[in-house]
């Protein structure tokens, strides 16, 4: 305390000068309209700049929460879109409540992803406690990603489309031609469309989507577009290359699809297979 008094006494002239200057500035601002308006505008501008900087910092640290909220909202929208994209089958109304309630979609964050191996896998931060089970299909906004392989309480591993042992039942949109997608182990942007008979007309640029036959993926999920068409000698099928719609080099969030009618369908087909 003694040092404080000593400091104030030593610099009393300077402190008095600063006080009188501030008092004069206050009196000028208070009693002159132009100076008052100028001060008000300047102070608001600086205050706004400080608040903006503070909000920008706050927004940056809340990006994770915002991303999670957006992913959850996207999952809800994806579920609605998926339900509305179920095809019109003969005798069935695609807007029936049975169709609209067939799929649940859970968003998940990718925490590990390989693309350079012969058989590639993806790990996400959702597990059995989130309702994830082996065999569920996995997609993004851009298209098919893979199928859930194994699950723990909090995590799941996914067999990527970039896996040489996997096949995806597909259809060429527009013509209705069926085939199977298989990754040949080349690059992460291309795959092959197999078992398309050579007598059918197909063109480069045709869109390939999921067929819905295997109950893992709903009908119409994007897989890719045809970019190569060839044929070898007397082969019965085309050699077709497709450009995958999913960018596996840049996976952040995925959507896991639960077909709530899959168990019922599998049980029925298993009974028929035993007859």
Range of the domain at 111: 103-275
Print the SS3 string covering 203-244. Answer: CCCCEEEECCCCCCCCCCCEEEEEEEEECCCCCCECEEEEEE
Residue 169 and residue 44 share a domain: no
Dump pLDDT digits (tens) for 141-185: 889 999 999 999 999 999 999 999 989 999 999 889 999 999 999
Dump pLDDT digits (tens) for 177-224: 999 999 999 899 999 999 999 999 999 999 999 998 877 888 889 999
Residue 136 and residue 233 share a domain: yes
Residue 126 and residue 30 share a domain: no
Residue 112 and residue 47 share a domain: no
- Report yes or no on 239 lying in a domain: yes
- Report yes or no on 155 lying in a domain: yes
What is the average pLDDT score of the chain? 80
Distance CA 252, CA 266 (A): 32
Dump pLDDT digits (tens) for 31-64: 666 555 555 555 545 554 655 566 567 666 667 7
Residue 221 and residue 150 share a domain: yes
- Report yes or no on 71 lying in a domain: no
Residue 109 and residue 38 share a domain: no
Distances (CA, A) of 47 to 36, 42, 44, 53, 269: 16, 9, 5, 10, 69
- Report yes or no on 72 lying in a domain: no
- Report yes or no on 69 lying in a domain: no
Distance CA 219, CA 194 (A): 18
Helix spans in the chain (H): 2-10, 12-31, 33-61, 63-84, 97-100, 262-274
Residue 12 and residue 109 share a domain: no
Residue 116 and residue 51 share a domain: no
| Domain total of the chain | 2
CATH of the domain at 220: 2.40.10.340
The neighbouring-strand residues paired with 201 are none
Distance CA 17, CA 51 (A): 32
Residue 225 and residue 150 share a domain: yes
């Amino acid at each position: 305390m003694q040092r404080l008094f000593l400091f104030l006494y030593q610099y009393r002239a300077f402190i008095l000068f600063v006080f009188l200057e501030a008092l004069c500035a206050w009196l000028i601002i208070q009693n002159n309209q132009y100076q008052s308006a100028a001060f008000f505008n300047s102070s608001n501008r600086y205050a706004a700049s400080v608040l903006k900087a503070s909000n920008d910092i706050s927004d940056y640290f809340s990006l994770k929460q915002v991303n999670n909220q957006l992913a959850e909202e996207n999952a809800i929208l994806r579920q609605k879109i998926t339900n509305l994209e179920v095809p019109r089958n003969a005798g069935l109304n695609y807007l029936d409540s049975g169709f609209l309630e067939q799929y649940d979609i859970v968003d998940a964050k990718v925490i590990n992803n390989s693309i350079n191996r012969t058989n590639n896998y993806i790990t996400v931060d959702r597990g059995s406690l989130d309702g994830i089970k082996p065999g569920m299909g996995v997609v993004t906004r851009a298209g098919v990603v893979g199928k859930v392989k194994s699950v723990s309480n909090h995590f799941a591993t996914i067999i990527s489309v970039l896996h040489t042992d996997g096949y995806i039942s597909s259809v060429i949109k527009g013509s209705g031609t069926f085939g199977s997608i298989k990754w040949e182990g080349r690059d992460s942007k291309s795959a092959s469309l197999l078992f398309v008979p050579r007598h059918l007309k197909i063109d480069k640029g045709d869109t390939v989507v999921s067929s819905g036959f295997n109950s893992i993926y709903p009908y119409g999920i994007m897989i890719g577009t045809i970019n190569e068409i060839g044929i070898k000698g007397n082969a019965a099928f085309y050699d077709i290359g497709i450009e995958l719609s999913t960018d596996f080099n840049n996976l952040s969030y995925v959507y896991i699809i639960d077909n709530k009618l899959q168990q019922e369908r599998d049980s029925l087909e298993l009974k028929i297979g035993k007859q």
